[in-house]
Structure 1
């Protein structure tokens, strides 16, 4: 699981649990406050009606007919009250009245029979001089049929002569509760989604440098030439520098080990030839043989010098992580200079050059390195081209790249060599002499191409014999 996914999942779990607990508490609190808000005006209504009934009482005898008539008339009214999203069409508040002993005198809901004694909590508490309130179901089968009751004492001359209870069904209040609950659900869901999106973007922003650094490390592990990325912040810069230092240390150790092994292998043959020739020359050797042995020593010494020079060039190139010189380079001019250096060798082998370079073949890079790279490709083609043949060089645009193509008419590339031609010190025998080169030329070309952000390919020609080398560079 990626670091971003871990951030997102962890935050989602914590946020969801936290908001769920908050939502549960909010709903409970909102429902309670709605009922509190309804109960408070019910207390006022009950006490106002209690005073109205007390004003009509004579000698402690209650006469609730006025309130009864008013309640009946109000319940028959057709209302058109739009209370926000609730449309109220009728009065749903109920009233019942008892005397001082709890006998029901009047019940607008028709639940209590007049003359019976009410044993309800609101009646008993109110007649005892306490705050009388209760909630009861009007139907045992309907959990939403709860009705709130608030009682108020009816007093005359400081004596309680009865009580009145105002009833309000909770169903109307629940409409507001449910609407608030829906609003809270959508608000919390929207908040969670926005928070998850925000934490995702923040996690991507925070882990992006790590992702870039990881891609750089993977590229290095694959042996690719990767430029160290620019890191934000002190910690990320320190991590990137530590990674680069570790890379340099590991590459340096491996580089030295590989070079020592490869160089030792390559030096064995010429050194053995030189030692053998010098031992023979220490004896009595005829002049013709002496001249031949001296020529062998000179040739092997030249091979060693060429090997060391190429190794120095390649070692210098491989240490570069980016181009030290980056200027506009015309590949046509580079090809001319490279061919001029090889003109005598080509003339000796009776090989001529045909070129077809399009205009505007301009790249950004190091002209000296590009000249050496194209020169190595030409040298390789000359070594394998038969006498009297032609080496064709073409330059053209391909999408966002410039391609330099070098073709010869030699024997081509053996099947077993396709995967190894760009390895250091790997070389194939030349057709005319059977000798091998240093095996560093194509490796050098590959390093130059990668340093310029390009690539190099070596394949066999399909239509005829010979090989085709492609140097591909960004335009």
Structure 2
């Protein structure tokens, strides 16, 4: 198991432990909360019954004669009360009355008449005018038979002449506690499973791009000295790359659909030209020169489609790469010298001169192959837009933080309407000498390479005429 997976599993275990602890605390707290609610209700009932008993006090003595038929009738009542998921069929309320000495005068269950209850907490405190309550099991060492009692004093004038205690079996409201525990446990477990499932989905679909942080850590370790601004830019680049990958993951279908739609639109024109030429070639009696012209047209349009597909595949493959797999120090001087030498041969048929102004050296970190392709694309554009006998100038300028490669031509420059479109896919301007357009994928390709190297690319009109492309790359630490 990889370190990343171990960390993820550890986080899930910590989350599960936290949920278990939370459920334990909630479930453990349910019973006291229900007891508090039941006790509050018993307090009111005890004082109501104490007031009722006070109506039958004669000469300081309590008369309990009318309590017997009252509770006999209440306990005999049969009914069906559905309280949410619990059904209640009978009254379980208990009551006993004691005199001022704590001796039982009346017991609704008929078992404790004459018993001395003066030491029970509810009676003892009630006779002193204080609040008293207790919970006692009917059967010793059997908590399921526990009954909660709450006492209230019986007054005659300013004197306490007895006490009334009302009781309720804990099991009667324990049903609600058990039901609440089951519901809470189910909700907690379902929620935990749902969150764990969501975490797995998120880790598979979204968290994976943040593995780029490991690449960033390796980059930091590889630095020979600490450069906070550079590390900051690198960190922002890592976060941006992770965001781009998450965006592509979430919008993958739309991304592919846009590509297919655009490619279909671009291929439609050369296919129409090929089909038209093929239909004309089927006509009899065509002159050989005209037939050759149509065949050349088919070859040219076929080559155009092939170039479009190849460039499209290159750009798509590049856009799916959010980081460079292998980074190495690259000296820009020798790289530019090599690219300019190769471009000079392509510019020779139109007598376009390619000149390299290299007055200083610069070292960057990146992929030499991709950097060479980027500069080559810029040079190809400059040569295509240069007039016959013109000049293309390539120069290298070293700044405090980056190295800038400039490619300037003597062409017509960029029209105002195209200033903000030159880096769009498939957008292309007609070449002055051939009046033909390219695939429109060269500059987007260069922009992707610049992004992978945490650099930038710009294209603007030069003050002295023509266009100048500026390809900036961060300097290597040294």
TM-score, normalising length from structure 1?
A: 0.48
Larger-Rg structure: 1
